[in-house]
């Protein structure tokens, strides 16, 4: 009789091949996707989750090993997050316990909220490339058509000892969710295709509404959400309150989703007309 308390047999090469085949298959499948979200902070995680949840193929690219960006901590290394109404409803939806600090201001536990958000993005079907940094964009004429990536350790070493060419991934749209850096949009600034004013001084009260209001396409095929919107539009920073990250991520997913559906309809009509 089989003893089911013992591990089943697998040798070293079997383990290596299982990892390798699974990873390369996924990378092959996602060399072309509907949307690439750059940056796995709160805004990127929500944007990716909502787009994948509506049936789109979404790849999330993150330069760190861990996902979550600034969402593990609520500011000054204290792991309690604040969100203001109405954004608390998103945390409620994904099952994050909230404490009411005062009317319209809620506190969540950072590790609990962040891990739930990551899990909900993965559950929705988002695929992740971590330890991967985007250092440029693919441009097709006047439109963004993908990202140029390399391993983070390669990017972190001096060029003279890592002459490793990057590779590129194609997508219908790219979403810059890289926080204050606005890394994807910066690639256009380097070519004088866009101006990047940088974010302004902290104003909790004004910044959150402004970031959500200005969340949109910033260049054909390139969208921004979260703190990168503040950098791209010259808006105030909001400090350690995260409601605008969640609502901005949700808003960009809605705009991108509508655009992708519209493009698919036009494509179908063209095929039928042929």
Beta carbon of residue 15, minimum distance to ligand 48F (angstroms, whole number): 28
Which is nearer to ligand 48F, 181 or 209 (by Cβ)? 181
End-to-end CA distance of the chain: 64
Beta carbon of residue 106, minimum distance to ligand 48F (angstroms, whole number): 14
- From residue 139, alpha-carbon distances to 97, 118, 262 in Å are 43, 30, 21
Burial class (CB in 10 A: 0-12, 13-18, 19+), 89: middle
- How far apart CA 180 and CA 74 sit, in angstroms, is 16
Which of 120, 39, 115, 45 minimizes the C-alpha distance to 79? 115
Beta carbon of residue 187, minimum distance to ligand 48F (angstroms, whole number): 9
Which is nearer to ligand 48F, 10 or 78 (by Cβ)? 78
Which is nearer to ligand 48F, 188 or 262 (by Cβ)? 188
- How far apart CA 223 and CA 225 sit, in angstroms, is 7
Binding site for ligand 48F (CB under 6 A): 38-44, 61-64, 69-71, 133-134, 177-179, 181, 183, 226-228, 237-238, 240-242, 245
Tell me the chain's radius of gyration from C-alpha atoms.
Answer: 20
Task: State CA 209 to chain mean position distance.
Answer: 20
Beta carbon of residue 216, minimum distance to ligand 48F (angstroms, whole number): 15
- How far apart CA 135 and CA 155 sit, in angstroms, is 8
Beta carbon of residue 264, minimum distance to ligand 48F (angstroms, whole number): 27
Which is nearer to ligand 48F, 221 or 249 (by Cβ)? 249
Which is nearer to ligand 48F, 19 or 156 (by Cβ)? 156
Beta carbon of residue 23, minimum distance to ligand 48F (angstroms, whole number): 18
Which is nearer to ligand 48F, 2 or 38 (by Cβ)? 38
- Taking each helix axis from N to C end, the angle separating 110-123 and 42-53, rounded to the nearest 10 degrees, works out to 30
């Amino acid at each position: 009789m089989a003893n089911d308390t013992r591990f089943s047999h697998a040798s070293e090469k079997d383990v290596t091949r299982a990892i390798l085949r699974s990873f390369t298959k996924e990378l092959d499948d996602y060399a072309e996707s509907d949307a690439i979200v750059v940056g796995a902070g709160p805004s990127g995680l929500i944007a990716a989750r909502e787009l994948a949840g509506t049936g789109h193929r979404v790849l999330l690219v993150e330069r760190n090993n861990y996902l979550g960006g600034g969402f593990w901590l609520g500011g000054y290394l204290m792991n309690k997050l604040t969100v203001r109404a109405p954004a608390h409803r998103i945390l409620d939806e994904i099952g994050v316990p909230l404490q009411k600090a005062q009317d319209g201001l809620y506190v969540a536990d950072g590790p609990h909220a962040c891990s739930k958000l990551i899990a909900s993005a993965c559950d929705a079907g988002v695929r992740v490339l971590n330890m991967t940094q985007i250092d440029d964009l693919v441009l097709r004429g006047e439109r963004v058509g993908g990202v140029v990536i390399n391993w983070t350790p390669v990017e972190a070493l001096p060029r003279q000892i890592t002459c490793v060419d990057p590779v590129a991934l194609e997508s219908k749209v790219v979403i810059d969710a890289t926080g204050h850096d606005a890394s994807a949009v910066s690639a256009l600034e380097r070519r004088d295709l866009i101006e990047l004013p940088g974010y302004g001084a902290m104003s909790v009260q004004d910044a959150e509404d402004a970031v959500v209001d200005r969340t949109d396409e910033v260049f054909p095929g390139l969208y921004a959400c979260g703190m990168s919107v503040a950098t791209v539009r010259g808006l105030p920073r909001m400090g350690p309150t995260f409601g605008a990250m969640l609502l901005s991520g949700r808003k960009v997913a809605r705009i991108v989703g509508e655009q992708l559906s519209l493009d698919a309809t036009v494509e179908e009509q063209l095929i039928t007309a042929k």
